[in-house]
Every structure is written in structure tokens, then in C-alpha cells.
Amino acid sequence: MADSAQERGFKVRGQLWGEENVQKTWDYFKKFDEGFARLVNDQCFGEIWSRPGLPTKTRSMITMAALLVLGRAPELKVHMRGALNIGVTPEEIKELIIHLSQYGGIPVAVEAIRTFREVTEGK
């Protein structure tokens, strides 16, 4: 197991989006602001996503649910790709969208469907 929050964050992000993307996104955020890069990697992924209380797949579903109801399509797309990489099925994402249409509203569900189709159909 990774020792530091930074190492744990890199590990989780590697599982979600591939090892080849970890350094690229670290550099992207670090170029904007090094403190923000640490916040995203170390705190969000190294501390929160790495906690033992929930499996990564569950955390991924929760994250997609939050982004869906908040109407954050660009970030939802990123997390849909990550979810598929760790074994969440397209059918599970579809059910998540349908279920949340009743809590977040039809318009956010329609936007999530557009996002889902972009991810699963490569558009």
C-alpha cells in the first residue's frame, strides 16, 4: 500500500484513468497552481477516495450521482470514463441516470444521457 497521501492519490487516479494520465493531469493542475494540484490529488484521492469504508466502485457511483444532479457534465464525463475503467458497467451507469432522474430532474438526466452516449459511443 502507498505510504503518503500523494502516492495513494496517484494510485487511485491511475486505477480510474490509467497510469499514463496520472502525471499528465498532475502537471496540468500544477501548472495552474501547485497547491490546487495537491488538494485534488492528495486530499480528494489520497485521503478521501482511499479511505477503507467504501469500495472504489461505490465511491465512483456516488461521485457520478453527485455530478449528475449538480449538472456538471464535463466532470461527469471524466468520472464516467473512470467508472468504466474500474468495472462499473454501462448498464449500471444507465440505471444510475434513470434512478436520479426522479431526484435531480429530467433535464439533468437528459444531459447525463448525452454525456453517457459521448462516453460509450465515442462521440
pTM: 0.92
Q: Is 3 exposed, middle or buried (0-12, 13-18, 19+ CB in 10 A)?
A: exposed
Which CATH code of 3.50.50.60, 1.20.1290.10, 3.40.50.300, 1.10.3720.10 fits the domain covering 55-123?
Answer: 1.20.1290.10
The reported pLDDT for the residue numbered 123 is 61
* Averaged pLDDT for residues 12-25: 95
Contact assessment for residue 16 and residue 77, using Cβ atoms and an 8 Å cutoff: no
pLDDT tens for 79-115 read 999 999 999 999 999 999 999 999 999 999 999 999 9
